[in-house]
């Protein structure tokens, strides 16, 4: 097989030495909140499978199970540790208190959709399970979205790596670069939703104060 470009080449020795366990471990850690190259080794393993050096069925099975388990671990961390855990340790995974606060409101309304598609965005892939647990997303909603996201993410990258082989390098580098734009767009969307929620809350409080004032005025007239 020709030399692989960029980050794919850097992980070749690890995959050569440890094979499927390396795929499972890195994908699990990447999905559980630790920023390791889980997606990169998944793509590389699929490229290997395309050349006959690994089984594509084995790669997909190991990666899907690891991705689901990793997200579940992140969810349990967020669920049991709550915001105090995220505020103390989340910054090591890129989840600062400010980001966690902005994400909570968004997750409350759109958690299932976010968990499903978050794996395609660096940063969200590592933290979506933690945020889902921290915000109290019900397990019965989280688990189906978690499985669907894992199958979709593994399926897309495994298929591309298997079909394109060593030609996937430029495509992968371009996709990683575009993730930055997608993450910025998602951040802008979350910010807009937060602003709208704050404005709506202020309007509700103002209307409530006005109604209380009107009732107080009416009561005063009746007493007089």
pLDDT at 160: 82
Q: Over the stretch 137-153, which tens digit does the pLDDT of each residue have?
A: 888 888 999 999 999 99
Q: Is residue 110 part of a domain?
A: yes
Token duo for residue 67: 């991705």
Candidates 18, 9, 7; CA nearest to 54 is: 18
Count helices and strands in the chain by DSSP H and E runs: 8, 0
Give the pLDDT of residue 79: 83
- pLDDT confidence bin for 136, thresholds 50/70/90: confident
Mean pLDDT value of segment 84-91: 62
Structural domain total, the chain: 1
Residue 1 resides in a domain: no
In this structure, is residue 159 part of a structural domain?
yes
Residue 166 scores a pLDDT above 80: no
Per the domain annotation, does 189 fall within a domain? yes
Domain holding 79, by residue range, is 6-223
| pTM, entire model | 0.67
Q: Does 80 fall in a domain?
A: yes
Whether residue 176 is contained in a domain is answered as yes
pLDDT(110) > 90: no
Residue 140's pLDDT is what? Answer: 87
- Is residue 106, in this structure, part of any structural domain at all? yes
Of the segments 2-11, 43-52, 174-183, which one has the largest average pLDDT value?
A: 43-52
Residues 58, 85: Cα–Cα separation, whole Å: 35
Q: What is the mean pLDDT of residues 112-123?
A: 79
In a domain, 61, yes or no: yes
Distance, in Å, from the CA atom of 185 to the CA atom of 102, rounded to the nearest integer, reads: 14
């Amino acid at each position: 097989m020709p030399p692989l470009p960029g980050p794919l080449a850097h992980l070749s020795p690890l995959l050569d030495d440890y094979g499927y366990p390396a795929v499972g471990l890195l994908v699990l850690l990447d999905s559980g909140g630790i920023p390791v190259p889980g997606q990169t080794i998944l793509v590389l393993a699929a490229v290997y499978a395309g050349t006959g050096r690994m089984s594509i069925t084995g790669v997909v099975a190991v990666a899907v199970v690891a991705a689901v388990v990793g997200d579940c671990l992140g969810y349990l961390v967020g669920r049991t540790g709550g915001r105090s855990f995220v505020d103390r340790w989340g910054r090591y995974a890129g989840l600062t208190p400010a980001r966690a606060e902005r994400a909570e409101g968004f997750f409350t309304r759109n958690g299932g959709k976010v968990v499903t598609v978050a794996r395609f965005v660096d940063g969200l892939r590592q933290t979506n399970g933690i945020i889902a647990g921290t915000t109290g997303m019900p397990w019965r909603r989280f688990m189906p979205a978690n499985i669907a996201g894992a199958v979709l993410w593994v399926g897309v990258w495994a298929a591309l790596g298997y079909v394109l082989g060593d030609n996937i390098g430029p495509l992968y580098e371009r996709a990683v670069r575009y993730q930055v734009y997608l993450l910025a767009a998602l951040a802008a969307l979350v910010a807009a939703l937060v602003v709208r929620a704050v404005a709506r809350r202020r309007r509700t409080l103002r209307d409530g104060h006005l109604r209380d004032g009107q009732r107080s005025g009416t009561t005063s007239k009746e007493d007089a």
